[in-house]
Amino acid sequence: MKLQGKVALITGAARGIGAATALRFAQEGAAIVACDVHEDALRQTVDDCRDAGAPALGLAGDVTDRASIDALVGTALTEFGRIDILVNNAGITRDARFEKMTEAQFDAVIDVNLKGVFNAAQAVVPGMIERGCGVILNASSVVGLYGNFGQTNYAAAKSGVIGFTLTWCRELGPKGIRVNAVAPGFIQTPMLDSVPDEILTRMCEQVPLRRLGAAEEIAKVYAFLASDEASYINGAVIEVTGGLSI
């Protein structure tokens, strides 16, 4: 198993890519600390990880609230002694055309998708530096690379995550910490539940594979990047899009 003996903290783990990643990591031998604001849904993730044979802890936490994240990390360290892997997956959308986007819509997405990544990473990094090793994986998006209609806030946040990744690669690499980002394309998650069928069809038509991706396909990439098999991959932004950008 790729992650045997590792301890992984995954934000936004209650559903979608976060839940799939927690389960995949559990199947690969990691102990799981699953974090989300949706406490009820988080229980299912924890149960699934435990059913896979992994120690798993579910903690309610808001990545925009630094005190909440610091407390969560403290609980995880008390329970497992260390955090080897951080997956910064928590994210939201508040879509609107630029001229109609409200300040509240902009701020909400920046707070969760960008500041939340900063908060979680800064909370776990001291322990990683002390041990001289660690892995941070950041959720960017194809939107952060190429933009998208109606997503000024989301594109800005996901581009910012790429900036974090490249900077932390330089700063933390000498301390033994690898930092990479994954940029998913159109993935079938609850985030797309409100998208009309005709729009989903057009989205699929843009992808050379002619389908949406599955959350599990992103989780497999995270598991590889978190493992020693990716020991010389640092500062990379991995597109997982079915060829969308071609």
CA–CA gap between residue 37 and residue 92 (Å, rounded)? 12
> Residue 33 phi/psi, 5° resolution?
-115, 105
Q: What is the DSSP letter of 31?
A: E
Instruction: Give the three-state DSSP class for 107.
Output: helix
- By residue count, the chain amounts to 246
Q: Is 232 a catalytic residue?
A: no
The identity of residue 108, as a single letter, is A
Residue of 146, 154, 222, 232 marked catalytic:
154
> Which of 118, 142, 137, 116 is CA-nearest to residue 206?
142
Q: How far is CA 70 from CA 20, 26, 225, in A?
A: 24, 23, 25
CB 39 within 8 A of CB 60: yes
CB 38 within 8 A of CB 239: no
CA atoms within 13 A on the CB side of 219: 23
What amino acid positions are annotated as catalytic residues?
Answer: 154
